[in-house]
Structure 1
């Protein structure tokens, strides 16, 4: 009985870890170490980037650079990275946050009728 219980618990633990990673991918995508230097020419090959904030699930501020399917975590305080992100922020599409809706502004026209406009 004890061996069967241990086997079932082990299988359950593996199943839960794989399922939770697919359901919550951001929770398992944190940078744990960051580089304070960036190799020459690496910013030209970046396919996309994300900013990791230190106040959420991940407790370290970082910039995640994706190059050829791999990720590199660098400090957001590197002057070269700051300048590059400012220059290239419009080249990469922003990630949409699920469940977030835009606020509608309701204005009244001269006749007193209401008009809805998106911000």
Structure 2
């Protein structure tokens, strides 16, 4: 018969500071301190994967910028971000636009693709 022998060691840590105040920490208090440390490490690790949300949007963009957009994403307020936005990527920069610009952007991207196809067939 294999039994499991467990032992519980009661830990009492004595902490003192320069003023001479001494405190005794019980097992529960130590568990809470360790839990807090683990929790803070977890949050600092997870923080690196949080998305960058647009916090405000612009309604007007110069056509020169819109013509250099290589891709765009739609940000919705029903996710982790607070507002609806159109995230534009142009020349290694990121812009936050109002979602109302999506139709104009789609038109410009289609026009840009047609021009590049026309230039490729002419060459």
TM-score, with normalisation over the residues of structure 1? 0.50
The counterpart of 2:96, out of the listed 61, 73, 92, is: 73
Match of 1:82 in 2: 103
The counterpart of 1:42, out of the listed 65, 79, 82, is: 65
- TM superposition shift of 1:72: 0.5
CA offsets 1:87-110 (integer angstroms, 9 cap, x no match): 648x7xxxxxxxxxxxxxxxxxxx
CA RMSD after TM alignment: 3.2
Q: Return the alpha-carbon distance in structure 2 between the equivalents of residues 60 and 73 of structure 1.
A: 11
Q: Return the alpha-carbon distance in structure 2 between the equivalents of residues 55 and 69 of structure 1.
A: 27
Unaligned runs of at least 5 residues, structure 1: 92-119
Q: How does 1:46-57 map to 2 (within 5 A)?
A: 46-57=69-80
SS in 2 for 1:47: strand
Q: Return the alpha-carbon distance in structure 2 between the equivalents of residues 85 and 34 of structure 1.
A: 18
CA contact (8 A) 1:21 1:28 kept: no
Match of 1:28 in 2: 51
Unaligned runs of at least 5 residues, structure 2: 1-14, 18-32, 114-123
Q: Highest CA radius of gyration, 1 or 2?
A: 2
- TM superposition shift of 1:38: 1.0
